[in-house]
Chain A
Protein backbone atom coordinates (compact mmCIF):
# COMPACT_ATOMS: atom_id res chain seq x y z
CA UNK A 1 0.00 0.00 0.00
CA UNK A 2 2.58 2.47 1.16
CA UNK A 3 4.91 1.54 -1.67
CA UNK A 4 2.04 1.70 -4.14
CA UNK A 5 1.16 5.24 -3.08
CA UNK A 6 4.77 6.36 -3.37
CA UNK A 7 5.04 4.76 -6.79
CA UNK A 8 1.91 6.53 -8.01
CA UNK A 9 3.04 9.87 -6.61
CA UNK A 10 6.49 9.45 -8.18
CA UNK A 11 4.84 8.79 -11.52
CA UNK A 12 2.59 11.82 -11.05
CA UNK A 13 5.65 13.97 -10.35
CA UNK A 14 7.31 12.77 -13.52
CA UNK A 15 4.11 13.24 -15.52
CA UNK A 16 3.77 16.78 -14.16
CA UNK A 17 7.32 17.65 -15.16
CA UNK A 18 6.74 16.29 -18.65
CA UNK A 19 3.48 18.21 -19.00
CA UNK A 20 5.13 21.45 -17.93
CA UNK A 21 8.00 21.09 -20.38
CA UNK A 22 5.89 19.74 -23.25
CA UNK A 23 3.02 22.26 -23.22
CA UNK A 24 5.15 25.03 -24.68
CA UNK A 25 6.72 22.68 -27.17
CA UNK A 26 3.31 21.43 -28.29
CA UNK A 27 2.05 24.95 -28.92
CA UNK A 28 5.16 25.92 -30.89
CA UNK A 29 5.31 22.65 -32.83
CA UNK A 30 1.56 22.42 -33.44
CA UNK A 31 1.09 26.02 -34.48
CA UNK A 32 4.19 26.79 -36.47
CA UNK A 33 5.52 23.35 -37.34
CA UNK A 34 8.74 24.56 -35.80
CA UNK A 35 11.01 21.88 -34.38
CA UNK A 36 12.65 23.93 -31.68
CA UNK A 37 15.74 22.10 -30.44
CA UNK A 38 16.47 25.00 -28.09
CA UNK A 39 13.30 24.36 -26.11
CA UNK A 40 15.28 22.59 -23.38
CA UNK A 41 17.36 25.73 -22.92
CA UNK A 42 14.23 27.72 -22.08
CA UNK A 43 13.81 25.26 -19.18
CA UNK A 44 17.44 25.88 -18.23
CA UNK A 45 16.89 29.64 -18.35
CA UNK A 46 14.03 29.22 -15.87
CA UNK A 47 16.18 27.15 -13.51
CA UNK A 48 19.02 29.70 -13.69
CA UNK A 49 16.56 32.47 -12.97
CA UNK A 50 15.81 30.70 -9.70
CA UNK A 51 19.50 30.16 -8.93
CA UNK A 52 20.38 33.78 -9.65
CA UNK A 53 17.41 35.17 -7.73
CA UNK A 54 18.25 33.07 -4.67
CA UNK A 55 21.96 33.91 -4.94
CA UNK A 56 21.03 37.57 -4.78
CA UNK A 57 18.93 36.97 -1.70
CA UNK A 58 15.55 36.91 -3.43
CA UNK A 59 13.09 34.15 -2.69
CA UNK A 60 11.62 31.33 -4.72
CA UNK A 61 8.30 33.05 -5.41
CA UNK A 62 9.96 36.09 -6.94
CA UNK A 63 11.78 33.74 -9.33
CA UNK A 64 8.57 31.94 -10.18
CA UNK A 65 7.09 35.26 -11.31
CA UNK A 66 10.25 36.51 -13.05
CA UNK A 67 11.06 33.32 -14.97
CA UNK A 68 8.10 33.36 -17.39
CA UNK A 69 8.73 37.05 -18.11
CA UNK A 70 12.38 36.39 -18.88
CA UNK A 71 11.45 33.27 -20.86
CA UNK A 72 8.87 35.19 -22.89
CA UNK A 73 11.37 37.94 -23.59
CA UNK A 74 13.97 35.44 -24.83
CA UNK A 75 11.30 33.66 -26.89
CA UNK A 76 10.16 36.89 -28.53
CA UNK A 77 13.73 37.93 -29.24
CA UNK A 78 14.54 34.59 -30.85
CA UNK A 79 11.34 34.49 -32.92
CA UNK A 80 11.83 38.04 -34.16
CA UNK A 81 15.56 37.74 -34.68
CA UNK A 82 15.82 34.29 -36.19
CA UNK A 83 12.88 31.88 -36.43
CA UNK A 84 10.62 34.12 -38.49
CA UNK A 85 13.09 34.25 -41.35
CA UNK A 86 13.13 30.47 -41.51
CA UNK A 87 9.46 29.36 -41.47
CA UNK A 88 9.72 28.22 -45.08
CA UNK A 89 12.86 26.18 -44.34
CA UNK A 90 12.15 23.56 -41.65
CA UNK A 91 15.59 21.95 -41.87
CA UNK A 92 17.27 25.30 -41.35
CA UNK A 93 15.14 25.83 -38.24
CA UNK A 94 16.30 22.52 -36.80
CA UNK A 95 19.94 23.44 -37.39
CA UNK A 96 19.53 27.02 -36.23
CA UNK A 97 17.74 26.13 -32.99
CA UNK A 98 20.26 23.36 -32.32
CA UNK A 99 23.04 25.91 -32.73
CA UNK A 100 21.18 28.38 -30.56
CA UNK A 101 20.84 25.75 -27.83
CA UNK A 102 24.61 25.21 -27.86
CA UNK A 103 25.28 28.94 -27.69
CA UNK A 104 22.94 29.31 -24.72
CA UNK A 105 24.50 26.34 -22.92
CA UNK A 106 28.05 27.57 -23.45
CA UNK A 107 27.06 31.11 -22.60
CA UNK A 108 25.54 30.04 -19.29
CA UNK A 109 28.58 27.92 -18.51
CA UNK A 110 30.95 30.79 -19.28
CA UNK A 111 29.08 33.19 -17.03
CA UNK A 112 28.14 30.88 -14.18
CA UNK A 113 30.83 28.18 -14.34
CA UNK A 114 30.50 24.43 -14.75
CA UNK A 115 29.62 23.59 -11.14
CA UNK A 116 25.95 22.92 -10.35
CA UNK A 117 24.01 25.97 -9.19
CA UNK A 118 22.60 26.05 -5.69
CA UNK A 119 18.86 26.27 -5.49
CA UNK A 120 16.51 25.56 -2.63
CA UNK A 121 12.86 24.71 -2.53
CA UNK A 122 10.43 27.07 -0.80
CA UNK A 123 8.84 24.38 1.32
CA UNK A 124 10.44 21.40 2.99
CA UNK A 125 9.19 18.46 4.96
CA UNK A 126 6.85 15.67 4.05
CA UNK A 127 3.14 15.10 4.02
CA UNK A 128 1.46 11.91 5.07
CA UNK A 129 -0.73 10.47 2.32
CA UNK A 130 -2.48 7.13 2.89
CA UNK A 131 0.34 5.97 5.12
CA UNK A 132 3.12 7.07 2.78
CA UNK A 133 5.25 10.05 3.67
CA UNK A 134 5.83 12.17 0.55
CA UNK A 135 7.89 15.36 0.04
CA UNK A 136 5.65 18.41 0.25
CA UNK A 137 7.51 20.20 -2.58
CA UNK A 138 6.71 17.42 -5.02
CA UNK A 139 3.04 17.65 -4.11
CA UNK A 140 3.22 21.38 -4.73
CA UNK A 141 4.76 20.74 -8.15
CA UNK A 142 1.92 18.35 -9.03
CA UNK A 143 -0.61 20.95 -7.91
CA UNK A 144 1.05 23.72 -9.92
CA UNK A 145 1.13 21.68 -13.07
CA UNK A 146 -2.58 20.94 -12.74
CA UNK A 147 -3.18 24.69 -12.40
CA UNK A 148 -1.03 25.44 -15.43
CA UNK A 149 -2.83 22.78 -17.52
CA UNK A 150 -6.18 24.34 -16.62
CA UNK A 151 -4.89 27.83 -17.37
CA UNK A 152 -3.56 26.76 -20.78
CA UNK A 153 -6.80 25.01 -21.60
CA UNK A 154 -8.80 28.10 -20.65
CA UNK A 155 -6.47 30.35 -22.64
CA UNK A 156 -6.86 28.27 -25.80
CA UNK A 157 -10.55 27.63 -25.35
CA UNK A 158 -11.99 30.91 -24.11
CA UNK A 159 -9.79 33.84 -25.15
CA UNK A 160 -9.47 35.78 -28.37
CA UNK A 161 -5.80 34.86 -28.64
CA UNK A 162 -6.67 31.18 -28.07
CA UNK A 163 -9.27 31.19 -30.84
CA UNK A 164 -6.76 32.83 -33.19
CA UNK A 165 -4.20 30.12 -32.37
CA UNK A 166 -6.72 27.33 -33.01
CA UNK A 167 -7.78 28.91 -36.30
CA UNK A 168 -4.17 29.31 -37.46
CA UNK A 169 -3.40 25.68 -36.57
CA UNK A 170 -6.33 24.48 -38.67
CA UNK A 171 -5.94 26.70 -41.71
CA UNK A 172 -3.28 29.39 -41.72
CA UNK A 173 -4.21 30.89 -45.11
CA UNK A 174 -7.89 31.19 -44.28
CA UNK A 175 -7.07 32.71 -40.90
CA UNK A 176 -4.99 35.42 -42.54
CA UNK A 177 -7.65 36.04 -45.20
CA UNK A 178 -10.09 36.73 -42.35
CA UNK A 179 -7.88 39.47 -40.96
CA UNK A 180 -5.71 37.63 -38.42
CA UNK A 181 -2.10 38.79 -38.39
CA UNK A 182 -0.61 35.31 -38.35
CA UNK A 183 2.96 36.53 -37.89
CA UNK A 184 1.93 38.26 -34.72
CA UNK A 185 0.16 35.10 -33.53
CA UNK A 186 3.39 33.18 -34.21
CA UNK A 187 5.53 35.59 -32.21
CA UNK A 188 3.18 35.62 -29.24
CA UNK A 189 2.75 31.86 -29.25
CA UNK A 190 6.51 31.38 -29.35
CA UNK A 191 6.87 33.71 -26.38
CA UNK A 192 4.13 31.80 -24.54
CA UNK A 193 5.85 28.46 -25.22
CA UNK A 194 9.14 29.81 -23.91
CA UNK A 195 7.45 31.28 -20.82
CA UNK A 196 5.85 27.91 -19.99
CA UNK A 197 9.22 26.17 -20.33
CA UNK A 198 10.84 28.74 -18.03
CA UNK A 199 8.16 28.18 -15.38
CA UNK A 200 8.86 24.47 -15.71
CA UNK A 201 12.54 25.22 -15.13
CA UNK A 202 11.86 26.95 -11.80
CA UNK A 203 9.56 24.17 -10.61
CA UNK A 204 11.96 21.40 -11.62
CA UNK A 205 15.16 23.05 -10.39
CA UNK A 206 14.98 21.98 -6.70
CA UNK A 207 14.55 18.34 -7.77
CA UNK A 208 17.45 18.15 -10.16
CA UNK A 209 21.03 19.22 -10.81
CA UNK A 210 21.03 22.74 -12.20
CA UNK A 211 23.76 22.89 -14.84
CA UNK A 212 23.95 24.52 -18.26
CA UNK A 213 23.25 21.20 -20.03
CA UNK A 214 20.19 20.24 -17.96
CA UNK A 215 17.75 21.06 -20.79
CA UNK A 216 18.88 18.11 -22.90
CA UNK A 217 17.32 15.70 -20.41
CA UNK A 218 13.90 17.05 -21.19
CA UNK A 219 14.10 17.77 -24.90
CA UNK A 220 13.85 14.26 -26.36
CA UNK A 221 11.18 13.11 -23.92
CA UNK A 222 9.02 16.13 -24.51
CA UNK A 223 9.14 15.50 -28.25
CA UNK A 224 7.99 11.91 -27.53
CA UNK A 225 5.18 13.31 -25.44
CA UNK A 226 4.00 15.67 -28.15
CA UNK A 227 4.23 13.12 -30.96
CA UNK A 228 2.61 10.29 -28.99
CA UNK A 229 -0.04 12.52 -27.46
CA UNK A 230 -1.03 14.43 -30.59
CA UNK A 231 0.10 17.80 -31.82
CA UNK A 232 -1.49 21.11 -30.97
CA UNK A 233 -3.73 20.56 -27.98
CA UNK A 234 -3.61 20.48 -24.20
CA UNK A 235 -5.39 17.09 -24.17
CA UNK A 236 -2.66 15.55 -26.30
CA UNK A 237 0.07 16.80 -23.97
CA UNK A 238 -1.69 15.38 -20.91
CA UNK A 239 -2.29 12.03 -22.62
CA UNK A 240 1.28 11.81 -23.94
CA UNK A 241 2.82 12.78 -20.60
CA UNK A 242 0.66 10.31 -18.74
CA UNK A 243 1.74 7.54 -21.04
CA UNK A 244 5.45 8.38 -21.25
CA UNK A 245 5.80 9.48 -17.60
CA UNK A 246 3.55 6.77 -16.24
CA UNK A 247 5.34 3.96 -18.05
CA UNK A 248 8.73 5.30 -17.11
CA UNK A 249 7.72 5.88 -13.51
CA UNK A 250 6.46 2.33 -13.07
CA UNK A 251 9.30 0.67 -14.96
CA UNK A 252 11.98 2.68 -13.15
CA UNK A 253 10.86 0.85 -10.08
CA UNK A 254 11.86 -2.55 -11.44
CA UNK A 255 14.34 -1.84 -14.22
CA UNK A 256 17.47 0.24 -14.79
CA UNK A 257 16.65 3.75 -16.06
CA UNK A 258 18.27 3.18 -19.45
CA UNK A 259 16.21 0.04 -20.06
CA UNK A 260 12.96 1.70 -19.08
CA UNK A 261 13.68 4.71 -21.30
CA UNK A 262 14.39 2.38 -24.22
CA UNK A 263 11.11 0.54 -23.57
CA UNK A 264 9.24 3.86 -23.52
CA UNK A 265 10.77 4.67 -26.91
CA UNK A 266 9.58 1.29 -28.25
CA UNK A 267 6.08 1.93 -26.89
CA UNK A 268 6.08 5.37 -28.51
CA UNK A 269 7.00 3.90 -31.89
CA UNK A 270 4.28 1.26 -31.65
CA UNK A 271 1.65 3.85 -30.74
CA UNK A 272 2.63 6.21 -33.53
CA UNK A 273 2.54 3.27 -35.94
CA UNK A 274 -1.13 2.67 -35.12
CA UNK A 275 -2.19 6.24 -34.34
CA UNK A 276 -0.01 8.39 -36.56
CA UNK A 277 -1.72 11.58 -35.42
CA UNK A 278 -1.25 10.76 -31.73
CA UNK A 279 -3.53 9.63 -28.91
CA UNK A 280 -5.60 12.84 -28.88
CA UNK A 281 -5.28 14.54 -32.28
CA UNK A 282 -6.10 18.27 -32.11
Chain B
Protein backbone atom coordinates (compact mmCIF):
# COMPACT_ATOMS: atom_id res chain seq x y z
CA UNK B 1 0.00 0.00 0.00
CA UNK B 2 2.69 2.50 1.10
CA UNK B 3 6.30 1.78 0.19
CA UNK B 4 9.56 3.63 0.45
CA UNK B 5 12.79 2.77 -1.33
CA UNK B 6 16.14 4.12 -0.06
CA UNK B 7 14.32 7.20 1.20
CA UNK B 8 16.67 9.97 2.27
CA UNK B 9 15.96 13.29 3.99
CA UNK B 10 17.96 16.02 5.71
CA UNK B 11 17.59 19.17 7.75
CA UNK B 12 19.67 21.60 5.75
CA UNK B 13 23.05 19.97 5.30
CA UNK B 14 22.52 17.42 8.09
CA UNK B 15 21.33 14.08 6.73
CA UNK B 16 18.85 12.30 9.00
CA UNK B 17 17.24 9.56 6.91
CA UNK B 18 20.05 7.58 5.30
CA UNK B 19 18.01 5.22 3.13
CA UNK B 20 14.76 3.88 4.53
CA UNK B 21 13.00 0.90 2.99
CA UNK B 22 9.61 0.02 4.35
CA UNK B 23 6.39 -1.55 3.19
CA UNK B 24 3.05 -1.00 4.89
CA UNK B 25 0.41 -3.50 3.84
CA UNK B 26 -3.34 -3.03 3.53
CA UNK B 27 -5.15 -3.25 6.87
CA UNK B 28 -1.87 -3.60 8.71
CA UNK B 29 -0.75 -1.91 11.92
CA UNK B 30 3.00 -1.51 11.63
CA UNK B 31 4.86 -0.28 14.70
CA UNK B 32 7.97 1.82 14.11
CA UNK B 33 10.25 1.66 17.15
CA UNK B 34 13.57 3.27 17.90
CA UNK B 35 15.43 5.47 20.31
CA UNK B 36 14.94 9.20 20.60
CA UNK B 37 16.60 10.95 17.69
CA UNK B 38 16.60 7.87 15.45
CA UNK B 39 14.64 9.75 12.75
CA UNK B 40 11.10 8.40 13.23
CA UNK B 41 9.41 11.82 13.21
CA UNK B 42 11.59 12.86 10.29
CA UNK B 43 10.35 9.82 8.36
CA UNK B 44 6.70 10.71 9.12
CA UNK B 45 7.21 14.31 7.99
CA UNK B 46 8.83 13.12 4.78
CA UNK B 47 5.99 10.68 4.10
CA UNK B 48 3.33 13.40 4.38
CA UNK B 49 5.44 15.80 2.30
CA UNK B 50 6.28 18.40 4.94
CA UNK B 51 9.96 17.64 4.48
CA UNK B 52 11.43 17.17 1.01
CA UNK B 53 13.12 13.85 0.31
CA UNK B 54 16.71 14.28 -0.86
CA UNK B 55 16.78 10.83 -2.43
CA UNK B 56 14.86 7.62 -2.89
CA UNK B 57 11.13 7.37 -3.44
CA UNK B 58 7.72 6.99 -1.82
CA UNK B 59 4.96 5.12 -3.62
CA UNK B 60 1.36 4.92 -2.51
CA UNK B 61 -1.26 2.69 -4.13
CA UNK B 62 1.04 2.22 -7.11
CA UNK B 63 1.70 5.93 -7.73
CA UNK B 64 5.01 7.69 -7.10
CA UNK B 65 4.23 10.50 -4.67
CA UNK B 66 7.78 11.50 -3.77
CA UNK B 67 7.95 15.20 -2.94
CA UNK B 68 4.32 15.88 -3.76
CA UNK B 69 2.93 18.82 -1.77
CA UNK B 70 1.37 17.78 1.58
CA UNK B 71 -2.19 18.75 0.64
CA UNK B 72 -1.97 16.55 -2.42
CA UNK B 73 -0.68 13.57 -0.43
CA UNK B 74 -3.41 14.13 2.17
CA UNK B 75 -6.12 14.21 -0.51
CA UNK B 76 -4.86 10.90 -1.90
CA UNK B 77 -5.70 9.32 1.44
CA UNK B 78 -2.79 9.61 3.85
CA UNK B 79 -3.68 11.19 7.19
CA UNK B 80 -1.11 12.47 9.66
CA UNK B 81 -1.31 12.84 13.44
CA UNK B 82 1.96 14.52 14.39
CA UNK B 83 3.94 14.14 17.57
CA UNK B 84 2.41 16.70 19.95
CA UNK B 85 -0.98 16.21 18.24
CA UNK B 86 -1.02 19.32 16.04
CA UNK B 87 -4.51 20.44 16.96
CA UNK B 88 -5.48 24.09 16.44
CA UNK B 89 -5.83 25.22 20.06
CA UNK B 90 -7.82 28.39 19.37
CA UNK B 91 -10.32 26.74 17.07
CA UNK B 92 -13.27 24.82 18.45
CA UNK B 93 -13.46 21.04 18.44
CA UNK B 94 -16.07 21.25 15.66
CA UNK B 95 -13.79 23.46 13.55
CA UNK B 96 -10.82 21.15 14.09
CA UNK B 97 -12.93 18.21 12.94
CA UNK B 98 -14.23 20.11 9.93
CA UNK B 99 -10.64 20.83 8.88
CA UNK B 100 -10.11 17.07 8.90
CA UNK B 101 -12.62 16.80 6.04
CA UNK B 102 -10.55 19.03 3.72
CA UNK B 103 -8.74 15.96 2.42
CA UNK B 104 -11.96 14.20 1.37
CA UNK B 105 -12.02 13.55 -2.35
CA UNK B 106 -15.80 14.18 -2.45
CA UNK B 107 -15.33 17.73 -1.15
CA UNK B 108 -17.91 17.32 1.61
CA UNK B 109 -17.32 19.15 4.87
CA UNK B 110 -19.64 17.33 7.25
CA UNK B 111 -17.90 15.18 9.85
CA UNK B 112 -18.78 11.47 9.46
CA UNK B 113 -20.96 10.20 12.31
CA UNK B 114 -18.67 7.22 13.03
CA UNK B 115 -16.10 9.60 14.49
CA UNK B 116 -18.48 10.26 17.37
CA UNK B 117 -19.11 6.54 17.82
CA UNK B 118 -15.39 6.05 18.38
CA UNK B 119 -14.96 9.18 20.48
CA UNK B 120 -18.32 10.12 22.09
CA UNK B 121 -16.61 12.66 24.26
CA UNK B 122 -15.87 14.85 21.26
CA UNK B 123 -19.57 15.34 20.64
CA UNK B 124 -20.04 16.83 24.10
CA UNK B 125 -17.23 19.30 23.47
CA UNK B 126 -17.99 20.48 19.96
CA UNK B 127 -18.17 24.18 20.77
CA UNK B 128 -15.25 24.20 23.19
CA UNK B 129 -11.81 25.59 22.24
CA UNK B 130 -9.62 22.59 21.48
CA UNK B 131 -6.74 24.02 23.51
CA UNK B 132 -8.75 23.82 26.75
CA UNK B 133 -9.15 20.02 26.61
CA UNK B 134 -6.96 17.49 28.41
CA UNK B 135 -4.07 15.82 26.63
CA UNK B 136 -6.00 12.59 26.16
CA UNK B 137 -9.02 14.39 24.71
CA UNK B 138 -6.76 16.34 22.38
CA UNK B 139 -5.24 13.09 21.16
CA UNK B 140 -8.73 11.71 20.49
CA UNK B 141 -9.53 14.91 18.60
CA UNK B 142 -6.34 14.61 16.55
CA UNK B 143 -7.15 11.00 15.62
CA UNK B 144 -10.82 11.82 15.00
CA UNK B 145 -9.82 14.73 12.78
CA UNK B 146 -7.49 12.47 10.80
CA UNK B 147 -10.28 9.91 10.32
CA UNK B 148 -12.76 12.60 9.22
CA UNK B 149 -10.95 12.72 5.88
CA UNK B 150 -11.76 9.03 5.30
CA UNK B 151 -8.09 8.10 4.76
CA UNK B 152 -6.59 4.82 3.63
CA UNK B 153 -3.47 5.25 5.74
CA UNK B 154 -2.98 6.76 9.17
CA UNK B 155 0.46 8.02 10.22
CA UNK B 156 0.47 8.23 14.00
CA UNK B 157 3.48 9.71 15.79
CA UNK B 158 3.72 8.86 19.50
CA UNK B 159 0.04 9.05 20.44
CA UNK B 160 0.78 8.03 24.04
CA UNK B 161 3.20 10.87 24.70
CA UNK B 162 2.12 12.99 27.67
CA UNK B 163 -1.12 11.10 28.25
CA UNK B 164 -2.51 9.36 31.34
CA UNK B 165 -1.80 5.60 31.37
CA UNK B 166 -5.52 4.74 31.51
CA UNK B 167 -6.14 6.60 28.26
CA UNK B 168 -3.04 5.12 26.59
CA UNK B 169 -4.63 1.69 26.87
CA UNK B 170 -7.89 3.04 25.39
CA UNK B 171 -6.08 4.49 22.39
CA UNK B 172 -4.65 1.07 21.59
CA UNK B 173 -8.13 -0.44 21.73
CA UNK B 174 -9.54 2.34 19.51
CA UNK B 175 -6.88 1.72 16.91
CA UNK B 176 -7.56 -1.99 16.68
CA UNK B 177 -11.29 -1.37 16.43
CA UNK B 178 -10.90 1.28 13.75
CA UNK B 179 -8.63 -0.96 11.67
CA UNK B 180 -11.06 -3.86 12.03
CA UNK B 181 -14.02 -1.66 10.97
CA UNK B 182 -12.47 0.30 8.12
CA UNK B 183 -9.52 -1.73 6.84
CA UNK B 184 -7.27 1.31 7.14
CA UNK B 185 -3.48 0.82 7.47
CA UNK B 186 -1.58 2.39 10.35
CA UNK B 187 2.06 3.32 10.73
CA UNK B 188 2.45 3.73 14.47
CA UNK B 189 5.50 5.36 16.01
CA UNK B 190 5.63 4.55 19.71
CA UNK B 191 8.05 4.85 22.61
CA UNK B 192 5.60 2.96 24.80
CA UNK B 193 6.66 -0.58 23.91
CA UNK B 194 3.72 -2.19 25.66
CA UNK B 195 1.23 -0.16 23.62
CA UNK B 196 3.12 -0.87 20.40
CA UNK B 197 3.32 -4.61 21.01
CA UNK B 198 -0.30 -4.83 22.14
CA UNK B 199 -1.56 -3.01 19.04
CA UNK B 200 0.71 -3.84 16.12
CA UNK B 201 0.80 -6.77 13.71
CA UNK B 202 4.45 -6.26 12.89
CA UNK B 203 7.35 -4.13 14.12
CA UNK B 204 10.31 -2.39 12.53
CA UNK B 205 13.16 -0.75 14.38
CA UNK B 206 14.95 2.38 13.23
CA UNK B 207 18.44 3.34 14.23
CA UNK B 208 20.38 6.37 12.99
CA UNK B 209 18.17 6.89 9.97
CA UNK B 210 17.91 3.28 8.79
CA UNK B 211 15.60 0.35 9.44
CA UNK B 212 17.83 -2.12 11.22
CA UNK B 213 15.41 -4.86 12.22
CA UNK B 214 12.03 -6.15 11.25
CA UNK B 215 9.96 -8.84 12.88
CA UNK B 216 6.73 -10.11 14.28
CA UNK B 217 5.45 -8.89 17.62
CA UNK B 218 6.54 -12.17 19.21
CA UNK B 219 10.12 -11.81 18.00
CA UNK B 220 10.26 -8.24 19.22
CA UNK B 221 8.95 -9.13 22.63
CA UNK B 222 12.17 -11.05 23.18
CA UNK B 223 14.11 -9.44 26.00
CA UNK B 224 17.48 -9.32 24.21
CA UNK B 225 16.09 -7.70 21.10
CA UNK B 226 14.43 -5.04 23.17
CA UNK B 227 17.60 -4.32 25.05
CA UNK B 228 19.75 -4.20 21.96
CA UNK B 229 17.66 -1.76 19.97
CA UNK B 230 15.52 0.19 22.31
CA UNK B 231 17.28 0.72 25.62
CA UNK B 232 18.61 4.22 26.04
Contact = CB atoms under 8 A, between A and B. Distances in A.
Interface of A: 160, 163-164, 166-167, 170-171, 173-182, 282
B98 A178 contact: no
A182 B49 CA distance: 13
A166 B95 CA distance: 10
Most A Cβ at <10 Å: residue of B49, B74, B100: B74
A175 B90 CA distance: 14
B24 to A, nearest CB: 18
A179 B88 contact: no
A43 to B, nearest CB: 30
Contact size range, B: 20 to 34
Given A177-B70, A177-B74, A180-B102, A167 B88 contact: yes
A71 B98 CA distance: 31
B103 interface: yes
Given A163-B95, A176-B50, A178-B71, 13 more contacts: A160-B109, A167-B91, A167-B95, A170-B88, A174-B88, A176-B74, A177-B50, A177-B70, A178-B100, A178-B145, A179-B75, A181-B71, A182-B71
Contacts of B69: 176, 181
Interface in B62-90: 69-71, 74-75, 80, 82, 86, 88-90
Given A163-B95, A166-B91, A170-B91, A179 B86 contact: no
Interface of B: 48-50, 69-71, 74-75, 80, 82, 86, 88-91, 95, 98-100, 102-104, 109, 145, 149
B91 A174 contact: no
Contacts, number: 64
A87 to B, nearest CB: 14
A interface, by DSSP: helix, strand, loop or mixed?
helix
B149 A179 contact: yes
A178 B75 CA distance: 8
B99 A178 contact: yes
Contacts of A175: 99
Given A160-B109, A173-B50, A174-B82, A180 B90 contact: no
A170 B89 contact: yes
A179 B89 contact: no
Nearest to A160: B109
A176 B75 CA distance: 10
B90 A170 contact: yes
Given A173-B50, A176-B50, A163 B74 contact: no
Given A179-B71, A179-B74, A171 B86 contact: yes
A179 B102 contact: yes
Q: Among the interface residues A163, A166, A179, A282, which one has the most CB atoms of the partner chain B within 10 A? A: A179
B99 A176 contact: no
A230 to B, nearest CB: 13
B99 A177 contact: no
A176 B71 contact: yes
Nearest to B86: A174
Nearest to B69: A176
B99 A163 contact: yes
A164 B101 CA distance: 12
26 contacts: A164-B99, A164-B102, A166-B88, A166-B90, A167-B91, A167-B99, A170-B89, A170-B91, A171-B86, A171-B88, A173-B70, A174-B88, A176-B69, A177-B48, A177-B50, A177-B71, A177-B80, A178-B99, A178-B100, A178-B102, A178-B145, A178-B149, A179-B102, A179-B104, A181-B71, A282-B90
